[in-house]
Amino acid sequence: MPKKSSKQSEEKIALADSGVAAVDKALTILRLFSSNNMALSLNDISESTGLYKSTILRMLASLSNAMLVLKRVDGMYVLGPTIASLNAAYQNEQSLETVVTPILESLMKSTHESAAFHVRQGDKRLCLFRVDSKQALRDHIKVGDLLPIDKGAGGKVLRAFEGAPGKAFTQIREDMVLAVSGDRVKEISGISAPVFNAEGLIGVITLTMPTYRFDPKQTAIVKASAKKLSELLGGSFQ
């Protein structure tokens, strides 16, 4: 990130007369995160805000306590799972949830398995929407949970359509769907397909089930669901 002058920084974090200084500073840090800046270092934040690092660390501690921000093992900061609940409320107003959820409900009713919509969140994938299977034995992922990006059908499909190299990812892009058994958790299997809007990839639809109920033939309905959702969102599913 380019370094800001002291004057620019002071203007950037100017506080409202009726505001609370600490809250304003914390929100200033949150606003630095974007699709182009999904992970920030302490130096990045300091250079962009002009705040002392000691002050930033206190703000980050409070944001971390609320799970609004998480610190990765490499020292970089990313948005936390609490953002998912806030985003879900916002997306509901913007109608994304009202488009996605009926597709997930239809998929669950057709297969009797749990259906979810995942998006990239930093170096993981976030469960943004989900409809649970009515069956007693199922996986127990919840909205807001973060899952590995390198394991599971959903993670691999996201990486494939983000352009990951390699024969396996090329095959996923050709098939437009992936079914894997026991990859993330031995007892859980999944089938996933990409979802697009007018600007490109936005997430994946994933059907999960206990491995003993895994049926690769369900790839067709998962793929059809992703295609229908993409069309509703103005995307191209090819």
Q: What is the pLDDT of residue 139?
A: 80
Asked whether the beta carbons of 118 and 127 are under 8 A apart, the reply is yes
Q: Which residue type, as a one-letter code, is found at position 100? A: V
- Please tell me the predicted confidence (pLDDT) of residue 89: 63
Residue 90, pLDDT score? 64
Q: Give CA–CA dist 25/34, Å, rounded.
A: 17
Instruction: Give the pTM.
Output: 0.62
Instruction: State the pLDDT at residue 166.
Output: 95
List, edge to edge, every strand of the sheet that includes 77-79.
39-40, 77-79, 69-71
Tokens of 90: 């916002």
At residue 19, the pLDDT reads: 60
Q: Tell me, what DSSP letter sits at residue 162?
A: T
Low-confidence stretches of the chain (pLDDT < 50) are 1-17, 93
pLDDT tens per residue across span 61-119: 999 999 999 999 999 999 988 887 777 666 554 578 889 999 999 999 999 999 999 99
List the beta strands (DSSP E) in the chain. Answer: 39-40, 69-71, 77-79, 114-121, 124-131, 146-148, 178-185, 188-197, 200-210
Q: Can you give the pLDDT at residue 11?
A: 38
What is the distance of C-alpha 228 from the center of its chain?
20
pLDDT value at residue 4: 45
Per-residue model confidence (pLDDT) at position 8: 38
